[in-house]
């Protein structure tokens, strides 16, 4: 693995294919990380912090393990999805057994990305309408993007006004049985981009970073011949084409989990390329359960540029979700959040905050409250159809999934169901803060909604 210094002179890259037992041991015992076969970094780079070296070792080892189980994990996922589709298409397990006894059962491929249910009537303000569009608009231009299924959920174009279009670019989160996507999540590699800051290498790779070239403004002949088209360039070119066809078109970027990280990185690369016309089209970046993407300098770069282009940025965090609290924000790691955090508790009550509570997740003092909250979420899954309406009911699989919270509360809290719920129930928290009057701000501070 070689990094072109014209792209980045400060970097730390992990190559899981080169990980060996002796290298892992030496990594823990020696400050000179440049001497490890699985680490690519500038000559002379050292790491004094033992915890940091341990985390780097575990990151490389986790990637190697994920690589080794890639095929069986995918096969297991296909089997589970087949079984769930089979049960769902026959109403439930008893319906499947009944149909099987009669010599008939139904199976069709269910597509969880498309839901034509109309948005709830209470989603009245601007952002909630756009988020609802992400989940409900059936007019998907997905057919041209099949090569990016791993990271792009869809690009959807829908009318906002008679004389303009709104395009929603939605990046998908980590697939449960996709070892490559999990490898991107656990990869602690980073690059320092000139004028931008240090950025998570795994997330940049998922968006289309090229090892030796970084982010060239235009693809060369050699990069065009790669096996897979690169997501950033394809999406950028599609947006440019949309702008040519309609100079009033606007777009927003959104995503959950890994998708949230990609939703932040996409405009960051646009900024680095000085794509002024596209950035003028961008109205908002809305992420859900988003992990940390870069360091403090990156956050400052993003905040200043989003403000310069008048782009709204909301980062939604639900309760004890583990992912937004990773990678760590402490003396060991350099990753930090930026911008407006919309935090929701397990009752779906929200507050505007700079940082979610318990920002690094693991804390002895929070263990008991997390356990109590996990118990409540299990109870709530049975109660919610009666307290919130039948639209909020949860299936058997989701109810069982919530029991994982008794061991690791942050895992089921990361699920999409709760993020869909907070969007539908979040009311005025999703207002553009610039449209809120001084009196409204004072009331929100008085009642504790705004901190």
Q: Is 162 in contact with 174 (CB distance < 8 Å)?
A: no
Please list the alpha-helical segments (H only) found in 19-125.
21-29, 50-68, 70-89, 93-101
**Segments of 148-249 assigned E as strands:** 152-161, 164-171, 190-193, 197-200
- The helix (run of H) or strand (run of E) holding residue 313 is strand 312-318
Determine which one of 57, 329, 414, 418 is catalytic: 414
Determine which one of 257, 319, 381, 418 is catalytic: 257
Is-catalytic flag, 381? no
Is-catalytic flag, 319? no
Determine which one of 178, 321, 329, 418 is catalytic: 321
Alpha-carbon Rg for the chain, nearest whole angstrom, is 23
Cβ neighbors of 266 (< 8 A, separation 6 or more) are: 169, 171, 207, 232, 235, 253
Is-catalytic flag, 321? yes
Cβ neighbors of 54 (< 8 A, separation 6 or more) are: 28
Cα distance between residue 328 and residue 133, in whole Å: 33
DSSP for 336-377, please give it. Answer: B--SEEEEE-TT--EEEESS-SSTTS--GGGHHHHHHHHHHH
Q: Is 261 in contact with 200 (CB distance < 8 Å)?
A: yes
Cα distance between residue 284 and residue 252, in whole Å: 5
Positions marked catalytic: 257, 321, 414
């Amino acid at each position: 693995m070689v990094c072109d210094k014209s792209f980045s002179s400060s970097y730390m890259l992990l190559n899981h294919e080169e990980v060996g037992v002796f290298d892992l041991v030496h990594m823990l015992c020696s400050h000179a990380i440049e001497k490890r076969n699985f680490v690519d970094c500038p000559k002379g780079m050292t790491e004094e912090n033992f915890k940091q070296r341990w985390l780097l070792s575990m990151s490389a080892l986790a990637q190697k393990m994920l690589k080794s189980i890639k095929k069986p994990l995918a096969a297991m996922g296909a089997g589970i999805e087949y079984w769930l589709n089979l049960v769902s298409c026959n109403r439930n397990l008893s319906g499947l057994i009944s149909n099987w006894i009669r010599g008939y059962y139904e199976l069709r491929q269910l597509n969880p990305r498309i839901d034509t249910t109309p948005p709830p009537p209470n989603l009245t303000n601007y952002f909630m309408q756009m988020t609802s569009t992400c989940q409900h608009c059936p007019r998907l231009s997905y057919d041209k993007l099949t090569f990016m299924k791993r990271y792009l959920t869809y690009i959807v174009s829908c009318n906002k006004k008679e004389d303009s279009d709104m395009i929603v670019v939605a990046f998908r989160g980590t697939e449960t049985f996709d070892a490559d996507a999990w490898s991107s999540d656990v990869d602690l590699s980073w690059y320092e981009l000139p004028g931008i800051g240090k950025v998570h290498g795994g997330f940049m790779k998922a968006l289309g970073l090229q090892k030796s070239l970084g982010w060239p403004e235009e693809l060369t002949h050699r990069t065009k011949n790669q096996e897979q088209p690169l997501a950033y360039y394809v999406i950028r070119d599609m947006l440019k084409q949309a702008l040519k066809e309609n100079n009033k078109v606007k777009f927003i970027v959104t995503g959950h989990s890994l998708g949230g990280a990609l939703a932040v990185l996409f405009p960051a690369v646009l900024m680095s390329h000085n794509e002024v016309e596209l950035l003028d089209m961008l109205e908002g970046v809305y992420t859900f359960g988003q992990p940390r993407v870069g360091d403090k300098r990156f956050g400052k770069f993003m905040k200043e540029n989003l403000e310069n282009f008048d782009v709204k940025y909301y980062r939604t965090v639900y309760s004890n979700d583990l992912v937004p609290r990773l990678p760590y924000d402490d003396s060991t790691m350099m990753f930090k959040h930026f911008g407006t955090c919309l935090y929701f508790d397990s009752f779906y009550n929200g507050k505007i905050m700079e940082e979610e509570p318990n920002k690094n997740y693991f804390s002895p003092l929070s263990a008991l409250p997390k356990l109590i909250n996990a118990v409540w979420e299990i109870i709530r899954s049975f109660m919610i159809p009666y307290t919130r309406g039948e639209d909020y009911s949860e299936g058997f699989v989701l109810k069982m999934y919530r029991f994982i919270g008794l061991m690791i509360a942050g895992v089921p809290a990361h699920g999409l169901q709760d993020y869909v719920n907070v969007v539908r129930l979040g009311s005025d928290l999703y207002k553009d803060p610039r449209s809120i009057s001084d009196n409204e701000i004072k009331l929100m501070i008085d009642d504790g909604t705004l901190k």
